[in-house]
Structure 1
Amino acid sequence: MSKEQIRHLVEKSVHEDGLMDTGVAGVKLFRASDPVPCAPAVYEPSVIAIVNGVKEAVLDGKRYVYDSSQYMCCPISMPVEAGTPAASRETPLLGIYISLDTRVMTELAIELESVAGASRMQNDPAIPQGFTLARWDDGFTEALLRLLQLSQSPADMTVLGEGRLRELYYAILKGDAGSAARRAFGVGNEIARAIRYLSTRLSEPVTIEEIADQAGMSRAVFHRKFRQATTMSPLQFVKAMRLNHAAMKIAGGKTVNEAALDVGYVSSSQFSREFKRMYGQSPRQWGQAAHPSARLA
């Protein structure tokens, strides 16, 4: 019943395609009623919960399809392809986008680990991936409903919004996506810290040794753990992040040269070659196609 209430709240609030602010920082509702093929995007740390329709994402060649039975949790920045190929006027995609605030998630993850026992996580050799699908459990569903119900009162939203969002974060940390989220924000978050470091320096030349140093690891150990967390090698990840950011910038109206420079390419010809190799189109062809999914991932 709670999930139906959530769907009703979203349907009642969003009448046009696009993103809509809820009044709580980082929480948005969205609607898409036209099919959009998967296109390059960058998922920042976030959760996406679908209440109607189906959404798709492709990470390193693996396709993830999710609907109202699972929510998507991406606790670290990831280069993906995302779209809404099945959306239609009859069956629009409806959902909630929740940005994961690093400070609050870190506080909660460390507090949760201190209660549950951080040693258990530190001794676990598995590195949860930076992209996962999680079951809508009772904790997540009830917390999300309580957060969205605040939209009925601006005063409640202002006074209680931050606390209800914190409650939702806690439900995520305790749910099926909790292992990946705790690893990204709590004890043992070396790979996540390295990715945050990299994400702020896409326009600069950065070596793998430099990123490994940020994680406090040797190059070999860093390479192995990075691939476990992201499914890609560090070099593949850097290239995908730069090209996906560039694709989004071009779709947003920047020129090919501007986009190339913004993500650290000095040679426009090299940028064009690598872009076409990854996406099957030249940057100019990509811009002319005006991919909407690069703006609404």
Structure 2
Amino acid sequence: MPEAATARAAHATVGDSEFDRDTAVTPREPGVYDTDLSAGWTVFDAVNGGYLLALLGRALGHALPHPHPFTVTAHYLTASRPGPAVIRTQQVRTGRTLSTGQASLLQYDDEGREVERIRVLASYGDLAALPDDVRTTAEPPAIPPLERCLGPEDGPVPLSGSSPITDRLRVRLDPATVGWAVGAPSGRGEMRAWFGLADGRDPDPLALLLAVDALPPTAFELGLTGWVPTVELTVHVRALPAPGPLRVSITTRNLAGGFLEEDAEVWDTRDRLVAQSRQLARVRLG
């Protein structure tokens, strides 16, 4: 995004930002929503999985009586393309503190046939109503101060095809996890970064669904390159995030048979663990 445009958009608010506009859904009939997948959230010409999860999360937020995602599990069935889509939702169960629903995002192929892209099962509740007691052994990731971390402009050359989503995010990577960018991957399968939206919008639960899948793949630090498509992604949202940049830490311990797992933690400016996720992703070897 040009510097002048970034400055103009520096104070976007929740509900009035590019992210909100690009995840908007329009009711067609009860439980059915029309939407448009924006080309601005693509990586290597593929629509980003975290963006898609946030879009489905918004639709379920309209369809269910509780406001916030607590746990969301998505299976990515076919590659989504920028353009029109329809989301069909269904209430599975409604309780006093949690409601559960499912949603499918569908598009039409070149022959006009309906194709399911993603199927989600999720439980929603009210994060603001949770007790504030915390008993944990988890600790925030050790990331250098934001000003000492690296953005896309610090790389030797931009990643081909990655610019659309990069322009919409404010990601500053821990220098210890960017060896891949200069041809010297660490081999540790780690990625850590400060994360925010480029227009300054503060995080909310839907932005957390984006954050867990918005960093470069850990496969890059394992010495692999290219697209790493998500097969399944489960996110647990633990708290309403405080304003300001998030810290995201992602690790991979096992790559076998062309698949790897990515475990992510998201921490807010109050040093609270606000989201966790695990995904299974496919890696193109050789």
Same fold (TM over 0.5): no
* TM-score, normalised with respect to structure 1: 0.25
Q: Which has the higher strand share?
A: 2
* TM-score, normalised with respect to structure 2: 0.26
Q: Which has the higher helix share?
A: 1
Larger radius of gyration: 1
